[in-house]
């Protein structure tokens, strides 16, 4: 029997997935937008909480999509109550954005031999946040314009240090970009073949996300059997989200890849059949990013 909490979760999964499917159906991938804001928080950024800590996983996609749809310049979000605590107030008539909190609670149950075991019960909770562009009266720092951004040379140096720090073998040559599981290496066209440095690093981020799926790393397997099947589409979506998260963290704009059009149909098919997968994909992408970050030297 399905309880009210389960119905709430199902409704939330469906609502979020349907919105992303509607964007994909229009040819829009909300994670491949520049999300550029001339704001103190930075020109390219993940969405940030009231304390400037970045959101992760699914909430990144939800808030990027809302910022894109509504034209918000600031990446900072907070609840109605938090706005009041900082001396501000949400303007009358403003509509908030939904973010989610997923966790599990432990409940003791009787197991075999009358032993008590802990059962993990997952739950998904939604709450509402507002962009600081919707809020008046906050301290000036929340509205401050950005300091000059790093120039491209500095951003390239930072990206080089990061991807070099992963230890992934990256080979250059040819016209294709891919991760070869059998040989455990990333293959990219020469740097000069890309239209700009950001396109090169976005592609490298995508393939390095694939690199994390190796059995000796995160051992991620969606049952992929052949090119273009459902497992392939699932892994490609994880790699796309991982690249988006990485590029935001490195201050690089992520532009759409040329092969997006071919993937969109496959992603729509996967999401239509599994209303929870976009949440799962975002979680896998976040784990991949966290793993790549964990490989960096302490002083990197």
Residue 103: pLDDT band (50, 70, 90) is confident
- How many angstroms separate the CA atoms of 67 and 40, rounded? 16
Mean pLDDT of all residues in 119-146: 86
Position 223 pLDDT exceeds 60:
yes
**CB 254 within 8 Å of CB 159:** no
- How many angstroms separate the CA atoms of 238 and 247, rounded? 14
123 or 19: which carries more pLDDT confidence? 19
Percentages helix, strand, coil for the chain (3-state, rounded to 5) are 45, 15, 35
At 144 the pLDDT is: 76
Residue 261: pLDDT band (50, 70, 90) is low
Cross-strand partners of 215:
none
Q: Where are the domains of the chain?
A: 33-148, 150-300
């Amino acid at each position: 029997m399905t309880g009210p909490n389960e119905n709430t979760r199902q409704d939330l999964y469906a609502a979020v997935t349907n919105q992303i499917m509607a964007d994909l159906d229009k040819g829009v991938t909300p994670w491949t937008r520049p999300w550029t804001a001339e704001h103190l928080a930075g020109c390219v950024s993940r969405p940030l909480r009231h304390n400037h800590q970045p959101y992760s996983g699914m909430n990144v996609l939800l808030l990027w999509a809302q910022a894109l749809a509504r034209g918000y310049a600031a990446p900072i979000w907070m609840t109605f109550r938090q706005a009041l605590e900082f001396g501000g107030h949400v303007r009358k008539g403003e509509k908030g954005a939904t973010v989610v909190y997923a966790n599990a609670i432990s409940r003791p149950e009787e197991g075999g031999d009358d032993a008590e075991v802990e059962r993990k019960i997952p739950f998904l909770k939604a709450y509402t946040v507002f962009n600081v562009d919707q809020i008046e009266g906050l301290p000036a720092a929340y509205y401050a314009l950005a300091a000059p951004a790093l120039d491209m040379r500095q951003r390239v140096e930072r990206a080089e240090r990061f991807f070099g720090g992963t230890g992934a073998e990256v080979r250059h040559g040819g016209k294709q970009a891919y991760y070869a599981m059998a040989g455990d290496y990333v293959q990219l066209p020469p740097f000069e073949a890309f239209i700009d440095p950001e396109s090169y690093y976005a592609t490298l981020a995508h393939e390095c996300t694939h690199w994390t799926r190796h059995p000796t790393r995160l051992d991620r397997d969606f049952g992929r059997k052949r090119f273009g099947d459902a497992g392939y589409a699932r892994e490609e979506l994880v790699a796309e989200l991982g690249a988006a998260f990485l590029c935001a963290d490195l201050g690089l704009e992520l532009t759409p890849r040329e092969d997006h059009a071919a993937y969109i149909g496959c992603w729509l098919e996967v999401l239509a059949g599994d209303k929870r997968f976009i949440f799962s994909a975002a979680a896998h992408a976040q784990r991949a990013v966290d793993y790549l970050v964990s490989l960096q030297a302490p002083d990197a």
